Amino acid sequence: MPKNCPVCGGLAVREEGEAVLRCTNMSCPAQIKRSIVHFASRDAMNIEGLGPQVVNLLLDNNLIKDAADLYFLKEEDLVNLPRFGKKSAAKLIQAIQKSKENDLERFLFGLGIRYVGLKSAKNLTKYFKTLENIMKAGIEDFMQVEEIGEKIARSIFEFFKEEHNLQLIEKFKLAGVNMATLKEGSAAPQIFEGKTIVVTGTLEKFTRDEVESLIERLGGKVSGSVSKKTSFVLVGESPGSKLKKAQELNINIVNEAEFLEMIKEAENI
């Protein structure tokens, strides 16, 4: 039975097959905060220094109303806020502006489209190349994408039909946020072409999503399991059973330092 959101009082509903109630009010402060924190998160736009406390500060001081407003902030907006000085304000603005250059897959994940996770965002970007193409696509078009079923396809389609979301996209465009894949026409050497690579353990320099994207950009294929077809296993701290499996199959083991040497020329690291 429908109830009310404890934050804004708006209608909250529980959809079939789901355990949690969801607020349906797009102006709900809790919804807005959650969407901005998600947009700035490490796996999305990766804006360093923009965590929940800073987002609260910006919202409470009426400096932003949505994620797109972040790109219109200036240093002078921040310097007089608690926790900020001239140096920290400049650092945050720099991090925000730098995120404009992210690949489409990060932006797409950052939009917070229901059911669209990291893998779905990556597959959509690879297939459609630009946000404009995604916005023009239909449900059947989305279902041509790897691992996109009807449920996810319908969610994406409905997201880009909402006037509120279209207005938000326009603000991002006005701010100059990249909305196309950066991988098309890339001059990066395909040093991993034809190779299947497995990653296990925690890496110091990369998140799992970052290293997988890098491998794919350099022509490789990332696999979630070790087999005789595996070219090598990239091993970080606290590796799992994949390392043992690789040793049993006599698969080449590569640590992070060795991996960095392999990609040094391609990535100028």
> 104-175 maps to which CATH number?
1.10.150.20
Query: Taking the model in full, what pTM does it have?
Result: 0.70
d(C-alpha 69, C-alpha 51), whole Å: 16
> 196-267 maps to which CATH number?
3.40.50.10190
Tell me which of 182 and 16 has the higher pLDDT.
Answer: 182
pLDDT score, position 29: 81
Which residues of the chain does CATH 1.10.150.20 include? 3-101, 104-175
d(C-alpha 66, C-alpha 27), whole Å: 10
pLDDT in tens, 16-37: 666 677 776 667 888 899 999 9
For the chain, percent of residues with pLDDT exceeding 90: 71
Per residue in 243-269, is it b (16+ CB within 10 Å) or e — as a string?
bebbeeeebeebebeebbebbeebeee
Mean pLDDT, range 133-137, rounded to an integer:
97
Mean pLDDT, range 138-148, rounded to an integer:
95
Which residues of the chain does CATH 3.40.50.10190 include? 196-267
Of the given ranges (4-18, 191-205, 238-252), which has the lowest mean pLDDT? 4-18
Nearest to 45 by CA among 186, 170, 179: 179
Strands 22-23 and 11-13: antiparallel
pLDDT score, position 265: 63
For domain 3-101, which architecture applies? Answer: Orthogonal Bundle (1.10)
pLDDT score, position 207: 86
- Band of the pLDDT at 83, cuts 50, 70, 90? confident
pLDDT in tens, 159-181: 999 999 999 999 999 999 999 98
